[in-house]
């Protein structure tokens, strides 16, 4: 889809074509296209069908609004889902704040910010993306300034809050490297250093050493999947950061691991919290450390947001649990505890991991369906599943981990509470 074919969707004929394509959404694509071709030219049919298909896909992220909105495939993929965007924008609900959105995409965050009462000035480098964001603002009856420009062209000092959700490359290796963001991390930090306050949405796996001292960082998960880390920074934090971490440090630090022993206590430089959506449960760092002990009757898997926020000690306190290993984020306990922060399992057996032994144990239990989970294990789960040649009427949870240096398999069932 290019800018011209997108623009045609707003002509009277284009609106008709889109309406007809939406009616046909879900039908066989060839049948839908040939039906539409009776009334519209090929270019318009392509644009309308693409848009109708994207709206269908977008319902998962945007709910009822999707039916009125416009998308690009890439813009939809990168957009923040509505529950997460609204939660974040909710922190700016103070009213009338002027926010600069430095890379607005198709407008997922922009819309939530406007609805939270902010006055938003948004830019994006890509002209088609900007056209789509503008169309969305209008389609939802909102108002915001959206224009084609580089983030770098904004004057961060002109806003109460500078917001940025930089583009990230999707290949997993690079997602963790903030220098591969667009705009890059040094550019973002330079902008943040001129802002009165800033809010940066980043990948949940951001290495801790990139996080400015004094920032308040919130890891957010939605239905058990970690979606983002959000760095909230006010000018005091930003000033401290700029002095402490000149741009060169960013390049050097890429070579090092996030929370390496070289960087002791790095997590104490900033505030850490985790939030579960849609419930809104929140956990804030208290510095509690979990003790380590033998696997008990129950095993608890902390939510990924708490793990990323290094709040496993705090979760252990909530469930009265202990770590099975100092390096592995599995907790264990002897009494059943319910918490939104964990998935709980009742332990059936604990054994040193070996294919032969595990296969025999699952045969004996006549297990036909195994949910295989792992932390701290290098086992290839799909390969293992084939090698186990499961057969039987029962189902089980197999947890692969290591305790000390010992690869371990834990057989369990989901805790019924
Ligand atoms: C992750 S998306 C933003 C998604 C948006 N927050 C939403 O919820 O829909 C990042 C966007 O940044 C834009 N971008 C990348 N580099 C940029 C730059 N230097 N200046 C402005 N926009 C940029 C991309 O075109 C892309 O649309």
Q: Is 254 exposed, middle or buried (0-12, 13-18, 19+ CB in 10 A)?
A: middle
Whether the predicted pLDDT of 250 surpasses 50: no
Q: Which one has a higher pLDDT value, 304 or 256? A: 304
Q: Does residue 165's CB lie within 6 angstroms of at least one atom of ligand 1? A: yes
Q: Which of 231, 248, 277 represents a domain boundary (last residue)?
A: 277
Residue 384 lies in a domain: yes
Q: Which one has a higher pLDDT value, 259 or 157? A: 157
| Distance from C-alpha of 235 to C-alpha of 241, rounded to nearest angstrom | 10
| 132 band by pLDDT with thresholds 50, 70 and 90 | very high
Q: Which of 50, 68, 86 represents a domain boundary (last residue)?
A: 68
| 175 band by pLDDT with thresholds 50, 70 and 90 | low
- Mean pLDDT over each residue of the chain, to the nearest integer: 90
Residue 84 lies in a domain: yes
Q: 218 alpha carbon to ligand 1 midpoint, in Å?
A: 21
The pLDDT assigned to 416 comes to: 78
* pLDDT tens track for 308-365: 999 999 999 999 999 999 999 999 999 999 999 999 999 999 999 999 999 999 999 9
Closest Cα to atom 1 of ligand 1: 167
Q: How far apart are the first and last CA of the chain?
A: 50
Question: Following CA atoms 281, 166, 79, 112 in sequence, which dihedral angle do they give, to the nearest 10 degrees?
Answer: 60
Q: Does residue 228's CB lie within 6 angstroms of at least one atom of ligand 1? A: no
Contact between 182 and 166 (Cβ < 8 Å) = yes
Q: Which residues 6+ apart lie within 8 Å of 325 measured at CB?
A: 292, 376, 401, 402, 403, 404
**Could you tell me if 356 and 208 lie in one domain?**
no
* Number of structural domains in the chain: 3
Provide the strand spans (E) within 223-333: 225-234, 271-277, 282-284, 298-302, 322-325, 328-333
**Could you tell me if 15 and 99 lie in one domain?**
no
Closest ligand 1 atom to the C-alpha of 106? Answer: 9
Contact between 236 and 200 (Cβ < 8 Å) = no
| 417 band by pLDDT with thresholds 50, 70 and 90 | low
Q: 154 alpha carbon to ligand 1 midpoint, in Å?
A: 14
Closest Cα to atom 10 of ligand 1: 167
For 375-400, what is the mean pLDDT?
Answer: 95
Pocket test for ligand 1, best of 75, 153, 166, 228 (most atoms within 8 A of CB): 166
Pocket test for ligand 1, best of 125, 180, 188 (most atoms within 8 A of CB): 125
Whether the predicted pLDDT of 241 surpasses 70: no
Residue 282 lies in a domain: no
**Could you tell me if 188 and 324 lie in one domain?**
no
The pLDDT assigned to 255 comes to: 36
Q: 103 alpha carbon to ligand 1 midpoint, in Å?
A: 4
Residue 293 lies in a domain: no
Q: 15 alpha carbon to ligand 1 midpoint, in Å?
A: 27
- Structural domain containing residue 56: 3-68
Residue 291 lies in a domain: no
Q: What is the DSSP string of 58-112?
A: HHHHHGGGGGG----HHHHHHSPPHHHHHHHHHTTTTSS-EEEESS-TTSHHHHH
**Could you tell me if 95 and 219 lie in one domain?**
yes
**Could you tell me if 332 and 389 lie in one domain?**
yes
Q: Which of 68, 102, 122 represents a domain boundary (last residue)?
A: 68
Read off the DSSP letter of residue 30.
H
Contact between 111 and 142 (Cβ < 8 Å) = yes
Residue 243: half-sphere exposure toward Cβ, Cα within 13 Å: 7
Q: What is the token pair recorded at 298?
A: 């129950």
Q: Which of 19-23, 176-180, 226-230, 247-251 has the lowest mean pLDDT?
A: 247-251
């Amino acid at each position: 889809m290019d800018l011209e074919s997108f623009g045609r969707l707003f002509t009277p004929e284009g609106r008709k074509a889109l309406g007809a394509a939406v009616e046909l959404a879900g039908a066989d694509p060839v049948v839908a296209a040939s039906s539409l071709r009776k009334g519209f030219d090929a270019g318009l049919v392509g644009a309308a069908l693409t848009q109708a298909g994207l709206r269908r896909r977008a319902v998962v992220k945007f709910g009822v609004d999707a039916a009125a909105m416009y998308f690009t495939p890439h813009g939809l993929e990168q957009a923040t889902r509505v529950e997460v965007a609204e939660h974040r924008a909710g922190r700016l609900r103070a009213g009338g704040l002027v926010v600069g959105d430095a890379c607005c995409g198709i407008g997922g965050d922009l819309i939530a910010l406007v609805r939270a009462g902010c006055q938003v000035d948004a830019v994006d480098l890509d002209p088609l993306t900007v056209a789509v964001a503008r169309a969305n603002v209008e389609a939802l009856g909102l108002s915001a300034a959206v224009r084609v420009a580089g983030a770098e062209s904004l004057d961060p000092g002109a806003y109460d809050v500078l917001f940025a959700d930089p583009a990230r490359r999707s290949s997993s290796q690079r997602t963790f490297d903030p220098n591969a963001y667009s705009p890059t991390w040094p550019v973002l930090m330079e902008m943040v250093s001129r802002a009165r306050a800033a809010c940066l949405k980043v990948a949940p796996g951001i290495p801790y050493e990139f996080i400015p001292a004094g920032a308040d960082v919130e890891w957010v998960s939605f239905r058990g999947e970690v979606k983002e880390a959000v760095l909230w920074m006010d000018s005091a934090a930003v000033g401290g950061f700029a002095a402490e971490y000149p741009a060169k440090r960013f390049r050097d630090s890429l070579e090092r691991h996030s929370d390496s022993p070289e960087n002791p206590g790095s997590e104490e430089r900033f505030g850490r919290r985790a939030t579960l959506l849609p419930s809104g449960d929140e956990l804030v760092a208290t510095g509690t450390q979990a003790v380590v002990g033998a696997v008990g009757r129950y095993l608890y898997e902390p939510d990924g947001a708490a793990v990323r926020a290094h709040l496993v000690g705090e979760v252990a306190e909530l469930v009265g649990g202990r770590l099975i290993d100092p390096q592995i984020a599995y907790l264990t306990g002897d009494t059943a505890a319910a918490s939104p922060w964990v998935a709980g399992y009742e332990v059936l057996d604990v054994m040193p991991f070996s294919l032969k032994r595990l296969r025999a144990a699952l045969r004996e239990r006549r297990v036909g369906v195994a949910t295989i989970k792992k932390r701290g294990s290098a086992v290839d789960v799909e390969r293992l599943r084939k090698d186990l040649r499961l057969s039987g009427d029962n189902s089980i949870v197999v947890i692969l981990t290591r305790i000390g240096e010992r690869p371990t398999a834990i057989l369990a069932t989901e805790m019924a509470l």
